[in-house]
């Protein structure tokens, strides 16, 4: 079977968050099972220079976007015999400094940019010599693909369009645009209604995917249940309830080739669950790199994230301030960027407590590996978390995760209260600084119990979140939508 994955981010070519990691690892794992896999994604600025393996093809085409005809060209890379990556060149849309926007503001023409990406996906789906049986769409940027495909079937004589699957990585980002932007899609105006993409008088790309795809998945079983409730459904819970029978949750995996502490080129020393001596070297190096006193006896906490309300960054700031004020012996390192007020608050905390708190504002994948390797504990107090990848990376790198028991965090971390023998981390329930504070105090107590600490760490490092396991669920889903 041939499957086409459509995505606006693909690790290592382009990345703002876990979407990039997930799609690239899923594609490789699927190809490893023997499926033919293609991926379509934009050719963003600088990619051909950084990745000389991406080669231009002579395949040029144009598609109408509103009243204009916009030209595109495919570039291509074939990392393995059954994996082909298609990069969509359209300089005006994609040769820009940001993926979705700059200095905190979305690009004004994001609707046109991602309608264009969706159209490019359908050109591949229709004209590749061996057309894909399934197009697997990821997040709002590719949400229009199912309805565009249906239109092409009914109005342009495409006899065998692919089945479509829509995966929600984050229900909070919906791609909501003024109703007038429907004109850019080229779809008939009466196709915009409450059962398609219309949502509060606007065009909602995510809703289009949720209403039109044959099957819907999200990135953990627990989040799949949570989004049926008003608390986590972002206003779409009614629609999701209607599609209950077509909705499932498949937990993300980890690319253990990239996240392998025994061979990670970003680390100053290698280590494994059997031999942790290199982890001590990584911790000392991280303390030096971040300007903190080098001290193996102090527990080192970490967080790497987009600084947004989703990630509970404000809780971390408030809790750290009170712990350090109270004289607790701990260190904390942050790597993140996003909300300016949160960036400044972390910066201020680091200035106020230079021997205990260090903050690096920016996006730095190599440093993110060094932090996971050097940290003793990893904080993830998210308000909501569809899956979360950093807790999975932390488990493998021996940084014990401290997580709020929601979304994929609930599915991937085991608290000693639930199962002492298999415990891997510390969980708390309330979204509050008080609850996080209590969880960190538990970590500080654990720090003083080396045998227990080692028990949790070892369980985490040997837990299996490999994609080989999880990709089989996608293969089964592809097969089942093809049978329908
Ligand atoms: P989300 O996709 O919601 O941001 P995930 O936990 O699924 O959260 O994935 C985030 C990914 O982005 C991880 O690979 C994480 O290491 C990476 N990441 C986030 N912020 C940064 C940063 N500032 N520098 C480097 N990597 C980052
Ligand atoms: C989203 C979610 C995150 C998830 C990632 C990859 O960005 O916020 O929880 O891990 O997608 O699926």
Residue pLDDT, tens place only, 20-71: 999 999 999 999 999 999 999 999 999 999 999 999 999 999 999 999 999 9
Distance (Å) from CA 292 to ligand 2 centroid: 30
Which of ligand 2's atoms lies nearest the C-alpha of 252?
A: 12
Distance (Å) from CA 360 to ligand 1 centroid: 14
Looking at the CA of 266, name the nearest ligand.
Answer: 1
In the chain, % of residues over pLDDT 70? 100
Hey, do 2-253+468-483 and 277-464 end up sharing a CATH topology, with the first three levels equal?
Answer: yes
CB 336 within 8 A of CB 307: yes
Residue pLDDT, tens place only, 330-347: 999 999 999 999 999 999
Distance (Å) from CA 92 to ligand 2 centroid: 28
What are the residue ranges spanned by the domains of the chain? Answer: 2-253+468-483, 277-464
Distance (Å) from CA 209 to ligand 1 centroid: 24
Distance (Å) from CA 193 to ligand 1 centroid: 35
Cα–Cα dist 261/372, whole Å = 10
Which of ligand 2's atoms lies nearest the C-alpha of 389?
A: 10
Q: Whose Cα sits closest to atom 10 in ligand 2?
A: 388
Q: Whose Cα sits closest to atom 3 in ligand 2?
A: 388
Any ligand 2 atom below 6 A from CB of 385: yes
Mutate to test the pocket of ligand 2, among 18, 27, 470 (most ligand atoms within 8 A of CB): 18
Rounded mean pLDDT, 246-269: 97
pLDDT at 103 over 90: no
Cα–Cα dist 356/354, whole Å = 6
- Give 2-253+468-483's CATH code, choosing from 3.40.50.300, 3.40.50.2000, 3.40.605.10, 3.40.640.10: 3.40.50.2000
In the chain, % of residues over pLDDT 90? 99
Any ligand 2 atom below 6 A from CB of 249: no
- CB neighbour list of residue 239: distance below 8 Å, 6 or more residues apart: 207, 210, 211
Q: What is the pLDDT of residue 208?
A: 98
Q: Is 58 exposed, middle or buried (0-12, 13-18, 19+ CB in 10 A)?
A: exposed
Q: Would you say the C-alpha torsion 296, 298, 304, 307 has a positive or negative sign?
A: negative
CB 422 within 8 A of CB 459: yes
Residue pLDDT, tens place only, 175-233: 999 999 999 999 999 999 999 999 999 999 999 999 999 999 999 999 999 999 999 99
Cα–Cα dist 217/246, whole Å = 8
Distance (Å) from CA 475 to ligand 1 centroid: 26
Residue pLDDT, tens place only, 156-167: 999 999 999 999
Any ligand 2 atom below 6 A from CB of 18: yes
Ligand 1, CB cutoff 6 Å, lining residues = 17-19, 21, 304-306, 335-337, 363-365, 368, 387-390
Q: What is the pLDDT of residue 291?
A: 98
Any ligand 2 atom below 6 A from CB of 387: yes
Give the chain as a 3 state SS string: CEEEEECCCECCCECCCHHHHHHHHHHHHHHHCCCEEEEEEECCCCHHHHCCCCEEEEEEEEEEECCEEEEEEEEEEEEECCEEEEEEECHHHHCCCCCCEECCEECCCHHHHHHHHHHHHHHHHHHCCCCCCEEEEECHHHCCHHHHHHHHHHHCCCCCCCEEEEEECCCCCCCEEEHHHHHHHCCCHHHCCCCCCEECCEEEHHHHHHHHCCEEEECCHHHHHHCCCCCCCCCCHHHHHHCHHHEEECCCCECCCCCCCCCCCCCCCCCCCCCCHHHHHHHHHHHHHCCCCCCCCCCEEEEEEEECHHHCHHHHHHHHHHHHHCCCCCEEEEEEEECHHHHHHHHHHHHHCCCCEEEEECCCHHHHHHHHHHCCEEEECCCCCCCCCHHHHHHHCCCEEEEECCHHHHHHCCCCCCCCCCCCCEEECCCCHHHHHHHHHHHHHHHCCHHHHHHHHHHHHHCCCEHHHHHHHHHHHHHHHHHC
CA distances from 172 to 87, 221, 305 (A): 26, 17, 16
Which of ligand 1's atoms lies nearest the C-alpha of 22?
A: 7
pLDDT at 358 over 90: yes
Q: What is the pLDDT of residue 295?
A: 98
Any ligand 2 atom below 6 A from CB of 170: yes
Any ligand 2 atom below 6 A from CB of 73: no
pLDDT at 484 over 90: no
Which of ligand 1's atoms lies nearest the C-alpha of 19?
A: 2
Any ligand 2 atom below 6 A from CB of 312: no
- The number of beta carbons lying within 10 Å of the beta carbon of residue 393 is 25
- Give 277-464's CATH code, choosing from 3.40.50.80, 3.40.50.2000, 3.20.20.70, 3.40.350.10: 3.40.50.2000
Residue pLDDT, tens place only, 397-440: 999 999 999 999 999 999 999 999 999 999 999 999 999 999 99
Distance (Å) from CA 194 to ligand 1 centroid: 34
| pLDDT band (50, 70, 90) for residue 104 | confident
pLDDT at 469 over 90: no
CB 180 within 8 A of CB 108: no
């Amino acid at each position: 079977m041939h499957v086409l994955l459509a995505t606006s981010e693909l690790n290592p070519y382009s990345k703002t968050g876990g979407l990039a990691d997930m799609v690239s690892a899923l594609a490789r794992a699927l190809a490893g099972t023997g499926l033919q896999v293609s991926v379509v994604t934009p050719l963003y600025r600088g990619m051909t220079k950084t990745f000389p393996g991406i080669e231009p093809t002579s395949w040029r085409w144009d598609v109408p976007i509103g009243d204009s005809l916009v030209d595109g060209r495919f570039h291509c890379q074939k990392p393995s015999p059954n994996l082909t990556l298609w990069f969509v060149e359209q300089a005006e849309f994609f040769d820009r400094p940001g993926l979705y926007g700059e200095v905190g503001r979305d690009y004004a023409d994001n609707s046109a940019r991602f309608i264009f990406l969706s159209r490019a996906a359908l050109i591949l789906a229709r004209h590749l010599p061996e057309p894909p049986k399934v197009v697997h769409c990821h997040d709002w940027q590719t949400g229009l693909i199912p309805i565009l495909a249906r239109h092409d079937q009914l109005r342009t004589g495409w006899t065998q369009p692919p089945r479509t699957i829509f995966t929600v990585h984050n229900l909070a980002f919906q791609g909501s645009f003024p109703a007038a932007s429907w004109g850019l899609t080229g779809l008939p105006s009466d196709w915009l209604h409450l059962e398609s993409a219309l949502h509060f008088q606007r065009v909602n790309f995510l809703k289009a995917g949720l209403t039109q795809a044959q099957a819907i998945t999200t990135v953990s079983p627990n989040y799949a249940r949570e989004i049926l409730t008003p608390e986590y459904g972002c206003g779409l819970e009614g629609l999701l309830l209607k599609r209950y029978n077509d909705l499932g949750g498949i937990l993300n995996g980890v690319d253990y080739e990239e996240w392998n502490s025994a061979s990670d080129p970003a680390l100053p020393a290698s280590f494994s669950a059997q031999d942790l001596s290199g982890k001590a070297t990584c911790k000392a190096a991280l303390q030096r790199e971040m300007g903190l006193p080098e001290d193996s006896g102090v527990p080192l906490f970490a967080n790497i994230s987009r600084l947004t309300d989703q990630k509970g960054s404000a809780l971390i700031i408030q809790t750290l301030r009170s712990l350090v004020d109270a004289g607790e012996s701990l260190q904390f390192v942050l790597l993140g960027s996003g909300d300016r007020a949160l960036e400044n608050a972390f910066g201020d905390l680091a200035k106020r407590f230079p021997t205990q708190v260090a903050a690096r504002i920016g996006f730095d994948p190599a440093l993110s590996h060094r932090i996971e390797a050097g940290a003793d504990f990893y904080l993830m107090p998210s308000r909501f978390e569809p899956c979360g990848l950093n807790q999975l990376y932390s488990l493998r790198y021996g940084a014990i995760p401290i997580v709020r028991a929601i979304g994929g965090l609930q599915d991937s971390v085991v608290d000693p209260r639930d199962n002492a023998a298999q415990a891997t981390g510390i969980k708390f329930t309330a979204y509050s600084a008080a609850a996080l504070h209590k969880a960190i105090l538990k970590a500080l107590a654990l720090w003083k119990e080396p045998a227990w600490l080692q028990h949790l760490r070892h369980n985490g490092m040997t837990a299996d979140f490999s994609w080989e396991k999880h990709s089989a669920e996608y293969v089964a889903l592809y097969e089942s939508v093809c049978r329908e």
